């Protein structure tokens, strides 16, 4: 020890031996070891573990830096002490020849090792937890309730939230985590938006999430899409529409090519600009085909001015532009009720049950709370039967009661009054019945200078192979049928988009 005081350099280093610097060094070494351990775990892990990165690259480095900062602070204080002539801080001496010291050292080292082990394990478990569906869907229950509820009944109920929302790799979780940190703040201080605005700005590009599991080169063929509707009349007439959707895909290298996915994602690059936040009004579309030929389609309806292009984002179309609701589908009651009637949860022999239920749900659409909505639904349906079918209320009271329960349950899955989330707040872009969807571009009004339009004949995307109620109307043809509207609206469907009557 005496040797050290001989020259100034060593004196400086000597000041390291003080409590604050030693604690700083201990923290720094501990966190550094943990960081290495987690990096190793991440490297070993067969699956991507998105949230681990938050810990490894954001939380722990903060502690590492804190530890490192403590070292010079302690040294500076020690230096000041000495300048003021207070002499060295005396540190406890360790003498391994002393059995007492030896025992304490062993105990200390052993305890540290155990502590390190469990900290490592604990950190890993904590990180696994933040990665889980429980964390994303249930911790901030009220905020995520609409998405969590709809997720559980979606085709992706077994896909973790983070696999679509964060994805693997460091940069995206840093980006989504920074916005995540803001969301935690917004939740605690109750400043979040209701409903949560979409499209999500910092959602990872679909190529890196959806395409981990589905890739457009895979051949999809045609997909049968059977729609059963119950109409608004006394008999709740069952009306069937059987579609063959030309979803297609593929690459010439791997087999057949055809259909929606081939045209949209592989043969063509399609870019567009939208005038609104929700990307529902699209006045300008640019298509570049595989050979590099470019076509620009402009909507003759919006009278779009090219000058505005400089100020708007040109977005390349990807999966999310059509599949914006792969996991969180808020159904229009008209459609959701069809399923309940078809599966017998609501008895279709009850006169006017479809129309009555729809009216009751519409009346409850703006309710402030679930309880209020339930009350409106319950009294709406019950009062209708009490007034128009009093004898039925006695004979089939139980069926009516069951219908009321099912309608409430349907409401609970599709309307979230507190978050103001429902089918109107989150339009679905697949199809064109309840929202413009494909018709944002395929409305027959988007033209090139030469007058070429984006295809919009009814057979471009699907064939109707069967339709009707099976009694007065029934048509079937594998070559495709002309659409017949279930109720008489004359030819209105030919020049009016379906969504203009069926949408919001
Ligand atoms: C199959 C992929 C997928 C899974 C799994 C998934 N989401 Fe989503 N989520 C999306 C897409 C796509 C959007 C809409 C993005 C857009 O429109 O910009 C979205 C939107 C959201 C929104 C914004 C509000 C809304 O409804 O658009 C929230 C909140 C959300 N998801 C939470 C969750 C939670 C919580 C889970 C897990 C319980 C989850 N998500 C699972 C794909 C997914
Ligand atoms: C971790 C894997 C995984 C990811 C990531 C994923 N999916 Fe899926 N997806 C699946 C599985 C598995 C199914 C099949 C579910 C079934 O058949 O019941 C499926 C089904 C689908 C379907 C068919 C739904 C239906 O009604 O039958 C669509 C459309 C779809 N996914 C779109 C997407 C989109 C868009 C994304 C990105 C936002 C995405 N998926 C991300 C695994 C995934
Ligand atoms: C131009 C709009 C559009 C784009 C872009 C698009 N899809 Fe689709 N996709 C559809 C339509 C329409 C269907 C049929 C849906 C139905 O019938 O319910 C479909 C169906 C699917 C299915 C279900 C296939 C099956 O066999 O049932 C999957 C999976 C899918 N898409 C994945 C993707 C992925 C991944 C991407 C991005 C690479 C993508 N889609 C891009 C329109 C699109
Ligand atoms: C952003 C604009 C845009 C949207 C939204 C869009 N498309 Fe397209 N689509 C195009 C353009 C541009 C073309 C190429 C021009 C053409 O072939 O008419 C195209 C071509 C197609 C084709 C090939 C037509 C053919 O046989 O040549 C199909 C099928 C198709 N789209 C289906 C869909 C479906 C289904 C949806 C909705 C789920 C949809 N598109 C939404 C812009 C769009
Ligand atoms: C750009 C592609 C495209 C064009 C053009 C198009 N459709 Fe569709 N249509 C779709 C898609 C996608 C769906 C949704 C399929 C699904 O949900 O499985 C759909 C759904 C439907 C349905 C079923 C609705 C339901 O839920 O019962 C009918 C009926 C229909 N279309 C009729 C028409 C008629 C009539 C025309 C011509 C006026 C037309 N479509 C033009 C893409 C298109
Ligand atoms: C001029 C307005 C109008 C247009 C345009 C229109 N519909 Fe309808 N549609 C109605 C009315 C009114 C009803 C009966 C009341 C109801 O069910 O909402 C109806 C009912 C239906 C139903 C039965 C719905 C149920 O209760 O399950 C289907 C399916 C349907 N329409 C499909 C379409 C399709 C597909 C298109 C576009 C090709 C279209 N409609 C265009 C007005 C319209």
For 7-33, write each residue's pLDDT tens digit.
445 566 778 888 899 999 999 999 999
- Higher model confidence: residue 262 or residue 450? 450
Query: Is residue 435 within 8 Å of residue 280, measured between CB atoms?
Result: yes
| Separation CA 326–CA 147 (nearest Å) | 11
Q: What are the pLDDT digits (tens) for 238-288?
A: 999 999 999 988 777 777 778 888 877 778 899 999 988 889 999 999 999
Instruction: Write down the residue that tokens 């009062």 correspond to.
Output: 383
**Which of 49-53, 62-66, 306-310, 352-356 has the weakest average pLDDT?**
49-53
In this prediction, residue 2 carries a pLDDT of 41
Averaged pLDDT for residues 134-159: 79
- Higher model confidence: residue 395 or residue 140? 395
| Separation CA 32–CA 119 (nearest Å) | 13
Ligand 2 atom nearest residue 163's Cα: 5
The answer to whether the bond into 21 is cis (omega within 30° of 0) is: no
* Displacement of CA 316 from its chain's centroid (Å): 19
In this prediction, residue 6 carries a pLDDT of 44
| Separation CA 52–CA 346 (nearest Å) | 46
With bands split at pLDDT 50, 70 and 90, how would you rate the model's confidence at 453? very high
| Separation CA 461–CA 449 (nearest Å) | 24
Residue nearest to atom 20 of ligand 5 (CA): 431
**Which of 59-73, 168-182, 303-317 has the weakest average pLDDT?**
168-182
Residue nearest to atom 14 of ligand 4 (CA): 454
In this prediction, residue 109 carries a pLDDT of 86
Which own/partner pairs from 269-275 qualify as long-range (CB within 8 Å, at least 24 positions apart)?
A: 269/316, 270/316, 270/317, 271/314, 271/315, 271/316, 271/317, 272/314, 272/315, 272/317, 272/441, 273/308, 273/309, 273/312, 273/313, 273/314, 273/315, 274/312, 274/315, 275/302, 275/312
**Number of Cβ within a 10 Å radius of residue 373:** 22
Q: What are the pLDDT digits (tens) for 50-65?
A: 556 667 777 788 899 9
Q: Nearest Cα to 342, choosing from 411, 434, 468, 240? A: 240
Q: What are the pLDDT digits (tens) for 83-104?
A: 888 777 676 677 888 888 888 8
Average pLDDT, the chain: 85
In this prediction, residue 118 carries a pLDDT of 76
End-to-end CA separation in angstroms for the chain: 83
> CB under 8 Å to 8, separation ≥6 — which residues?
none
| Separation CA 430–CA 444 (nearest Å) | 17
Does 430 sit in the ligand 5 pocket, CB within 6 Å?
Answer: yes
Does 273 sit in the ligand 5 pocket, CB within 6 Å?
Answer: no
| Separation CA 494–CA 489 (nearest Å) | 10
Q: Which two tokens stand for residue 49?
A: 């573990």
Query: Is residue 241 within 8 Å of residue 227, measured between CB atoms?
Result: yes
- Higher model confidence: residue 136 or residue 165? 165
| Separation CA 96–CA 105 (nearest Å) | 8
Task: Give residue ranges with CB within 6 A of ligand 2.
Answer: 155-156, 159, 163-164, 206, 209-210, 212-214, 319, 323, 326
Q: What are the pLDDT digits (tens) for 313-336?
A: 899 998 899 999 999 999 999 999
Does 228 sit in the ligand 5 pocket, CB within 6 Å?
Answer: no
Q: Which of 144-148, 297-301, 437-441 has the highest mean pLDDT?
A: 437-441
Averaged pLDDT for residues 428-457: 93
- Look at the alpha carbons of 353, 354, 355, 356 in this order and tell me if their dihedral is positive or negative: positive
Ligand 5 atom nearest residue 483's Cα: 35
In this prediction, residue 5 carries a pLDDT of 44
């Amino acid at each position: 020890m005496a040797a050290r005081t001989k020259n100034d350099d060593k004196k400086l280093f000597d000041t390291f031996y003080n409590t604050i610097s030693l604690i700083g060094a201990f923290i720094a070494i501990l966190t550094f070891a943990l960081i290495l351990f987690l990096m190793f775990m991440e490297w070993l892990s067969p699956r991507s573990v998105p949230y681990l990165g938050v810990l490894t690259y954001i939380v722990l480095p903060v502690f590492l830096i804190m530890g490192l900062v403590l070292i010079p602070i302690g040294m500076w204080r020690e230096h000041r002490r000495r300048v003021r002539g207070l002499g060295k801080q005396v540190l406890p001496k360790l003498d391994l020849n002393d059995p007492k010291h030896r025992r304490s050292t062993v105990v200390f080292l052993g305890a540290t090792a155990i502590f390190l082990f469990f900290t490592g394990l604990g950190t890993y478990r904590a990180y696994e937890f933040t990665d889980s569906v429980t964390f994303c869907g249930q911790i901030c229950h009220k905020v995520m309730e609409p998405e969590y509820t709809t997720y559980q009944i979606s085709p992706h109920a077994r896909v973790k939230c983070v696999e679509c929302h964060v994805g693997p790799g460091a940069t995206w979780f840093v980006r989504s985590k920074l916005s995540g940190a803001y969301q935690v703040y917004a939740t605690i201080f109750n400043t979040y938006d209701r409903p949560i605005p979409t499209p999500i700005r910092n959602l990872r590009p679909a190529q890196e999430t959806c395409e981990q599991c589905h890739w457009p080169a895979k051949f999809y063929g045609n997909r049968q899409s059977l729609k059963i509707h119950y109409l608004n009349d006394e008999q709740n007439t069952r009306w069937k529409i059987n579609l063959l959707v030309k979803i297609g895909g593929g690459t010439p290298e791997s087999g057949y090519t055809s259909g929606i996915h081939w045209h949209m994602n592989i043969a063509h690059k399609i870019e567009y600009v939208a005038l609104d936040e929700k990307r529902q009004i699209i006045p300008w579309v640019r298509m570049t085909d595989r050979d590099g030929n470019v076509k620009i389609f402009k909507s003759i309806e919006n009278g779009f001015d090219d000058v505005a292009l400089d100020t708007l984002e040109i977005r390349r179309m990807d999966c999310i532009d059509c599949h914006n609701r792969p996991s969180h589908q808020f159904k229009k009651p008209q459609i959701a009720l069809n399923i309940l009637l078809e599966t017998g949860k609501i008895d279709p022999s009850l006169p006017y049950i479809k129309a009555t239920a729809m009216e009751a749900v519409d009346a409850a659409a703006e309710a402030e709370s679930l309880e209020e909505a339930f009350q409106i639904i319950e009294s709406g349906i019950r009062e209708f039967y009490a007034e128009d079918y009093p004898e039925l209320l006695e004979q089939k009271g139980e069926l009516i009661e069951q219908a009321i329960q099912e309608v409430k349950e349907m409401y609970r899955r599709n309307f979230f009054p507190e978050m103001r989330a429902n089918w109107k707040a989150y339009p679905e872009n697949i199809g064109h019945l309840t929202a413009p969807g494909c018709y944002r571009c395929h409305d027959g009004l988007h033209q090139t200078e030469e007058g070429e339009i984006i295809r919009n004949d009814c057979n471009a995307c699907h064939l109707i192979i069967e339709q009707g109620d099976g009694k007065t109307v029934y048509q079937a043809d594998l070559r495709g049928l002309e659409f017949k509207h279930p109720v008489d609206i004359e030819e209105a469907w030919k020049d009016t988009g379906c969504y203009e009557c069926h949408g919001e």
